[in-house]
Amino acid sequence: MGAWLPQEIIRRKRDGAVLSAEEIGAFIEGVTRSSVSDAQIAALAMAVCWRGMSTDECVALTLAMRDSGRVLDWCEAGLAGPVVDKHSTGGVGDTVSLVLAPMLAACGAFVPMISGRGLGHTGGTLDKLESIPGYSSTPPIALLRRVVCEAGVAIIGQTDELAPADRRLYAVRDMTATVESIPLIVASILSKKLAAGLDALVMDVKFGSGAFMRGFDQAQRLAETLVEVGSGAGLPTVALLTDMDQPLAPCAGNAIEVRAALDYLAGRARPARLDEVTRALGSTLLLQVRLAVTEDEARCRLDEALRSGQAAERFARMVKGLGGPGDLFERTDHYLERAPIVRAVPVPERVRVPNHRRVARIDTRALGLAVLELGGGRRRAEDRIDHAVGLSELAPLGAVLDPGAHLGLVHARSEQAARTAIAAVQAAYTLSDTTQLVGAPSAIAGRVTPAHPTGKGS
């Protein structure tokens, strides 16, 4: 670390000083080389959580974390289009990555998507994909590059070679109540995206009962920081603010969401909110990299990717290229496990009267925790996931429940687990005393660009 002592860097940030890029770079180098202890990482993380960081500091931290490992360069691959990605801050029923990435590939982009595992009540894209037998979520860099070149898309996890300092920092933050720090969130996300060698990034920043940032103002602050720091680090970034006061798709669970993605790509079912967010994020990226000139053109290109079957074909090529079956669409039931017990969630007895039938509120976080309790998520990093369990056919906000209707279906490994999940889902729903239909709010609540933040709260 040369002349920069880690304890002095910690002290300066603790006292409210603005750290130089050299100080931040030296500290991250120490993290990577293990000359900085976990205690010192925790101390700096808490100082940042308390004192915050300027944009310049956050850019320096992001770039130092990017440079702690390998940075992919796609120039030598001779790709025929731009390299792009999308990232979500986490939600319930958020299947966007599984469908958007192959849609973008079918539109001429290349998508090396580095995704994460489930965290708390939110589902993880990698956990979903690992419900596909043989799928390699952490391939060697050479295989990643080959699949991106051949299929146009590869959705993988963070490898040991990409932004290794982030992995160590995050492990310490997770144990020291500093996960929520916006500068640390931003550096963690963007360092991995920058390491992937992207030309453009779109962020899906969520707010509401199922999001980590529940308040719109807090989510917008995160979105603005992501856009500012991403742009400052040389990565053109746009963020959409999206509502997570209900699941994005009417289901949650790993294999269940993969089935939903296959249905979406094949045209069998495209839930309205999932479709709205997917197309909004996709058109934003196509416009960023000039694969479309207007919003209408971008949406037409995405529609053609679906209509022609090219998006489904790209997904199938990705799965096969990363070790999964080549006939997943044709033999879905053969490959994706189903839970042995499926039970409907009845409307609770106390509200089974005609004037208590409209869904007025959903505790989306509670639904995510119900999936976790079924075994579909992790309490600890070493826990094994049951890919078959989860929820489906979830009633949306505003739904009027006719006599005999249910709130959803529980997919469980045992009758006891099913009973527990049914009670949790019932508790997550608030039903109103009117059957009057109301218009569902748009899932897109705002947009942040480098120069022009827009949306409510702006």
What is the set of active-site residues? Answer: 85-88, 125, 173, 188, 192-193
Sign of CA dihedral 277, 282, 288, 293: negative
Closest by CA to 203, choosing from 369, 88, 280, 304, is: 88
Provide the token pair at 136.
Answer: 């390699």
3-state secondary structure the chain: CCCCCHHHHHHHHHCCCCCCHHHHHHHHHHHHHCCCCHHHHHHHHHHHHHHCCCHHHHHHHHHHHHCCCCCCCCHHHCCCCCEEEEEECCCCCCCHHHHHHHHHHHCCCEEEEEECCCECCECCHHHHHCCCCCCCCCCCHHHHHHHHHHHCEEEEECCCCCCHHHHHHHHHHHHCCCCCCHHHHHHHHHHHHHHCCCCEEEEEEEECCCCCCCCHHHHHHHHHHHHHHHHHCCCCEEEEEEECCCCCCCCECHHHHHHHHHHHHHCCCCCHHHHHHHHHHHHHHHHHCCCCCCHHHHHHHHHHHHHCCHHHHHHHHHHHHCCCCCCCCCCHHHHCCCCCEEEEEECCHHHCCCCCCEEEEECHHHHHHHHHHHHHCCCCCCCCCCCCCEEECCCCCCCECCCCCEEEEEEECCHHHHHHHHHHHHHHEEEECCCCCCCCCCCEEEEECCCCCEECCC
Closest by CA to 254, choosing from 131, 406, 367, is: 131
Closest by CA to 200, choosing from 238, 236, 153, is: 236
Provide the token pair at 384.
Answer: 């094994």
